[in-house]
Amino acid sequence: GENVEQHPSTLSVQEGDSAVIKCTYSDSASNYFPWYKQELGKRPQLIIDIRSNVGEKKDQRIAVTLNKTAKHFSLHITETQPEDSAVYFCVHSMRFGAGTRLTVKP
């Protein structure tokens, strides 16, 4: 079955710095690569997604890149703000990564 590995498990950055979270996957059955953000005590919410016919997608300060050959996709957050502090999950073929707890220090 599908195996999704997400790194790092925790990430602490200074406000204004960039943050990068990476996920690797094992099968190629799905062409859909979403990222979800879960704030403390809340539900996961989709923040950005990409399909395998493109290599990169941007939405203001967040972007997702996909490398199909290497089977990994990454979430990039630029100019981080304290409200970006949350747990982020990658998903592939219905499998969630274990999550990355991002802390943005003011």
Binding residues (CB under 8 A) for another protein: these are 1, 6, 9, 29-32, 34, 42-46, 49, 89, 93-99
Q: Which is nearer to another protein, 49 or 76 (CB)?
A: 49
CB-CB contact of 86 with 38 (8 Å): yes
Closest CB 79 distance from another protein, rounded Å: 25
- CA trace torsion 86, 84, 19, 57 (10° rounding): 100
Closest CB 67 distance from another protein, rounded Å: 19
Cα 44 from Cα 34, distance rounded (Å)? 12
In this structure, the number of other CB atoms found within 10 A of the CB of residue 36 comes to: 20
Q: Which is nearer to another protein, 84 or 89 (CB)?
A: 89
Closest CB 18 distance from another protein, rounded Å: 24
